[in-house]
Amino acid sequence: MAKPDFAQALKVHLKIGLLSFGGPAGQIALMQQEIVERRGWVPAQAFDRGLSFSMMLPGPEAQQLATWLGWRLHGIAGGLAAGLAFILPGAALMIGLAWLAAAHGQVPLVAAVFAGVQPVVIALVLGAMLKIARRALTAPAHWALAVAAFAGLYLAGLPFPLIIALAAIAGLIIGGDREAQPQAEAGPGLWRHLAVICGITAALVLTVYALVATALGHHPWHGVAELFTTAAFVTFGGAYAVLPFVAESAVETYGWLDAGQMLNGLAIAEATPGPLILVNTYAGFFAGWSAAGTGAAGALSAALATFYTFAPSFMLILGFAPAVERIQNVPWARRALAGVSAAVVGVILNLALYLAEASFLPGGIAQPEWVKLALFTIALVLVFRLKAGMLALVGLGVAAGLILGLIGLL
């Protein structure tokens, strides 16, 4: 089929953005169905190459793949349109739901709904960890990396970016994936293209930061820029990998929200369209809300969190887009990524324990939340034995929270 015009493609990109439930696997499958199989706009082999390269970059792979597909069809403008169509519907919904949680989260029935969903989310996190472990822990050295990453975060309290850097270095040392062969080296044209894209992105980010700081001061806007820009560059292995860093910073360092509210944000992100990393939008909302106590401030800080989260992602995929065919199989990059992927298993286990402590032991180990623990046990059976879908699980958590709240058990 001939390449579509811009308006035709934009409609499909928006459709994908509105229907992109179910995490990256479902989102990628939807893109393949709509763009490759149904319309034939991109060959299947090119789609696979774009996906492989997106998985090598920091940032949400589904959003980067959507951006690359748009670039393939209509260049830079197409990439921006496709990427924004993928994230903006979910971001807008996330801002509205964050306001509901902030303004009405203490209403007993609303609180009960969140309490019912929390155990389900923790079970889903453990399910995601197991899937990644099966793919990433292919050698004893990878298991050792996963254990070391968990110990470094949970026991030693090492910074998350340091864990990622050390894991990449360890992956280079360990080796593996010897079959991959380097492609032709990138020429000067690619480096000029990449320099232009990086320069424009950096100028845009700095301009936004300067305008906000000039108009509104530094609190909490500097923290929003610092946290979410840093998170954008260390998001290897999916949103679950970076969530401990975002959660700990937003809760412990900046004090924008508590751990229970952060867990509620993850539950909302699980059940709304768009990449799971939109939980950053939710956390960002509470930065403005905690500082000013208004929905307008929360919406602005959420929009800024979204901007700082995704600007580097757009920069990287659009900057390297012309070279996807050449550099995705470079051996050293794959070895470093294998090390990071192994460490991500330990990182996600740290996240699961952090969330579990917040949900099940808010009053300490002597005062466990038995009702939530019972729901968690049921959720584990549904996730690991019955293979229930994510949306069905979240729906069951909502229903359980409502029922238990109405009878006074939550």
pLDDT at 180: 46
Q: Are residues 65 and 155 in the same domain?
A: no
Q: Are residues 34 and 110 in the same domain?
A: no
Q: Are residues 31 and 95 in the same domain?
A: no
Range of the domain at 365: 87-406
Q: Are residues 40 and 95 in the same domain?
A: no
Q: Are residues 220 and 359 in the same domain?
A: yes
Q: Are residues 153 and 291 in the same domain?
A: yes
Q: Are residues 237 and 139 in the same domain?
A: yes
**Local confidence pLDDT in tens for the 410 residues of the chain:** 578 999 999 999 999 999 887 667 668 878 988 999 889 999 988 887 788 788 778 888 889 999 999 999 999 999 999 999 999 999 999 999 999 999 988 788 888 888 898 898 889 889 888 887 888 898 899 999 999 999 998 999 888 888 888 998 998 888 655 444 444 455 567 789 999 999 999 999 999 999 999 999 999 999 999 999 999 998 876 677 788 889 989 999 999 999 889 988 988 887 788 898 999 999 999 999 999 999 999 999 999 999 999 999 999 999 988 887 665 556 777 788 788 888 888 988 988 898 898 889 988 889 999 999 999 999 999 999 998 877 788 889 989 999 999 998 88
Closest CA to 405 of 147, 15, 109: 109
Q: Are residues 95 and 74 in the same domain?
A: no
The answer to the question of residue 1 being in a domain is no
pLDDT at 106: 78
Q: Are residues 264 and 341 in the same domain?
A: yes
The answer to the question of residue 363 being in a domain is yes
Q: Are residues 260 and 275 in the same domain?
A: yes
The answer to the question of residue 38 being in a domain is yes
Count of structural domains within the chain? 2
Domain boundary among 71, 86, 101: 86
Q: Are residues 32 and 91 in the same domain?
A: no
Domain boundary among 86, 101, 130: 86
pLDDT at 138: 86
pLDDT at 187: 57
Percent of the chain past pLDDT 70, that is, above it, reads 93
The answer to the question of residue 132 being in a domain is yes
The answer to the question of residue 347 being in a domain is yes
The answer to the question of residue 37 being in a domain is yes
Domain boundary among 86, 103, 138: 86
The answer to the question of residue 167 being in a domain is yes
Q: Are residues 74 and 214 in the same domain?
A: no
